[in-house]
Chains A and B, each alone.
Chain A
Amino acid sequence: MKKTVMINLCLLLTLLFSVYGFAGGLDLFEGLSGTLRIAGGTAHIKCEMLAGKRIMRRFPGITIIIGGGGSGVGIKQLCEGLIDIGNTGRAPTAAEIERCNLNVYKFAVDGIAVIVNPQRKIQNISTAQLVNVFSGKTTNWKELGGPDATINVYTRDSESGTRKVFWKKGLKRAPITRRANFVKSNAAMKTAVAGDPLGIGYISLGVADSSVKPLAIDGIYPSIENVKTGKYKIARGLYMNTRGKPGGLARAFIDYMLSPEGQELVKGCGFLPVK
């Protein structure tokens, strides 16, 4: 009898602590109000939205607006003072850091997967094949062991950090074919390839879901474990940047994303936490 009471007490304490621990992360926003504007990289959006919802639910005086546009847009709008935090899916360049006095905060590591429609039977693609497909030398699925049909290549615009990293690490800087279709965000990439049985594209691991099929490259599957061990090479940090030292809401938001609770959220989004 006494034992059960003890166990119950322990449970209660654990529960209390966990509740307290939970509140710990969000307590950063105590006493703050106003609007926090974020834009740029599109891989970040889902995860930051989840955090934003939690924060806004608890503190109705805080509004968090999250937009896309791509990493380049994030930096540009940040420099112009239009937003408080600029998302980038690549490290900002030295020139960008100097020009806008950037403070850079890496909060997650993300992989970039090559995706096809789930109707395709292909499981693996070699780097050479990948380069040929994206540079327009291979144009038929037959050459990859598929049906006799044109390959529809999807790519992102030059503002995209995902494109920059994929081009450098996945395509070894080989040019992307001019016939490629352009989509505006990671989410749009998912919709495009999910809807096109002959499509191929590349996407943030955190944004990919079962509507598209990631391909192994040279036998290595793009999973977060393989990114963690360094076996899967096409990976990049996800960054939040501020102009000068962040204050107020921006400071609290960055601290929250780097707190244990924020990092748990990052993990839940399919990224690798940094802490």
Chain B
Amino acid sequence: MMDCRRKAQISRAILVLSTVVTGSMALVIFLFLFRFSLPLFSSGSLGKFLSKNWDPDAGAFGVYPMIAGSACIASLAMVLAAPLGVALAVFMELYAGSRFSRFLRYFVELMSGIPTVVYGFSALFILVPLVRNTFRYGSGFCVLSASLVLALLVIPTVSLITMDRIREVPRDFVLAAGSLGASRLETLLRVQLPYAWRGVISAVVLGGGRALGDTIIALMLAGNAVSVPSSLLDSARTLTAHIALVSAADYESLSFKAIFLCGLVLFLFSMFSIVFLRVVERLKE
């Protein structure tokens, strides 16, 4: 028979081990990315890789169009998803406790679990022809199509996190607002939402990370042209789709190195957004 202290030691060891493994994974991935994209920085050819031209046949390996594509598609998706997601969270809270609200919450949770390829595939046959026929410009494979579907993908993330943070608002505040004569909606909009603003920001940033990191939706719907989009109806390529499309190049080739640069940009972006979140969380009122 083990005594209590021994048991505690063992469980502690397991916890420390899993923390170290998970933490070092992220570090290893970063070092790996950095190691492979190092030649880009040391050889002074970074400018070439950030140029506007991607044409391996002509020796041009610029990934700038992909950075622009990712930025356009993810930010448009967030412009759509952030207000809708927050509004949905407020709406669900407004009717909290009712069967309707519970059903809605199940539904949103279900939505967040649907594999993204299912969204992409459905949109391929429904949204793309619709966009093409509505605007009568281009092929329908464009920034707009990808962003609309990404917004749909991100809304559950934004609203579920927002909703949880609204619920963390101390009960006293809600009761006080009620006793001053505020309606449920007024309490939500004037007291709970402003109190939980950091939560709303983390919800939006995390949602943005998801929009930026998703591969298959942009790959299937954005058209993947290697040019900087000049309109919402232009075909564009994201960093993630670029990695998926070019992954096969051999190790020594320049296109392979350019892929690592794409990975590094994505990694750095997610790192910065996490740092940003930490800073926001620490801010005092």
Interface residues of A (CB under 8 A from B): 69-70, 72-73, 76, 149-150, 152, 154, 157-159, 167, 175, 178-184, 191-192, 195-196, 198-199
In the complex, B219 has a CB within 8 A of chain A:
yes
In the complex, chain A residues whose CB is within 8 Å of the CB of B105: none
Give the docked Cα–Cα distance between A175 and B250 (Å).
Answer: 22
A70: contacting residue among B58, B224, B248, CB under 8 A = B248
5 residue pairs of the A-B complex, CB under 8 angstroms, read: A70-B248, A178-B226, A179-B225, A181-B225, A191-B124
* Cβ contact within 8 Å between A73 and B225: no
Q: Render B106-134 as a binary contact track against A, CB cut-off 8 A, 1 for contact.
A: 00000000000000000011001100100
Most chain A beta carbons < 10 A, residue from B56, B58, B141, B249: B141
B225 x A159 contact (CB < 8 A)? no
- The residues of B with any CB-CB pair to A shorter than 8 Å are 53-58, 65, 124-125, 128-129, 132, 136-141, 219, 223-227, 234-235, 237, 245-250, 255
Which of B128, B224, B227 has its CB near the most chain A CB atoms (within 10 A)? B224
Q: Which residues of B contact A184 (CB under 8 A)?
A: 219, 245
A175 — which chain B residues lie within 8 A by C-beta? Answer: 55, 57-58
| Contact indicator B248/A73 (Cβ below 8 Å) | yes
Bound-state CA distance A78–B139 (Å) is 36
Contact of B56 among A158, A178, A179 (CB under 8 A): A158
CB of A63, distance to nearest CB on chain B (Å): 24
For A180, give the chain B residue with the smallest CB separation: B225
Question: Which residue of chain B has the shortest Cβ distance to A96 in the bound complex?
Answer: B250
Check A181–B235 contact: CB distance below 8 A.
yes
Contact B246 A158 (CB under 8 A): yes
Knowing A150-B137, A175-B58, A198-B139 are in contact, say whether A181-B223 is a contact too (CB < 8 A): yes
Does A72 contact B248, Cβ atoms closer than 8 Å?
A: yes
Chain A residues with Cβ below 8 Å from B237 are 182
Interface pair A76/B248, CB less than 8 Å apart: yes
Chain A residues lying within 8 Å of B248, measured Cβ to Cβ, are: 69-70, 72-73, 76, 159
Per a CB cutoff under 8 Å, which of A69, A76, A167, A178 touches B225? A178
Q: Which chain A positions have C-beta within 8 A of B65?
A: 178
Chain A residues closer than 8 Å to B58, beta-carbon distance: 175
Q: A158-B255, A199-B139 are in contact. Are A182 and B246 (CB under 8 A)?
A: no
A160 to chain B, nearest CB (A): 10
Nearest 8 pairs of A and B residues by beta carbon: A182-B224, A152-B139, A73-B248, A181-B223, A178-B227, A72-B248, A157-B245, A159-B248
Which residues of chain B are within 8 angstroms of A178 by Cβ–Cβ distance?
Answer: 53-55, 65, 225-227
A158/B223 contact (C-beta < 8 A), A72-B249, A150-B137 known: no
What is the CA–CA distance of A196 and B247 in the complex, to the nearest angstrom?
A: 27
Q: Which residues of A contact B249 (CB under 8 A)?
A: 72, 76, 158-159
CB–CB B129/A182 < 8 A: no
| Distance A222 CA – B132 CA, assembled complex (angstroms) | 29
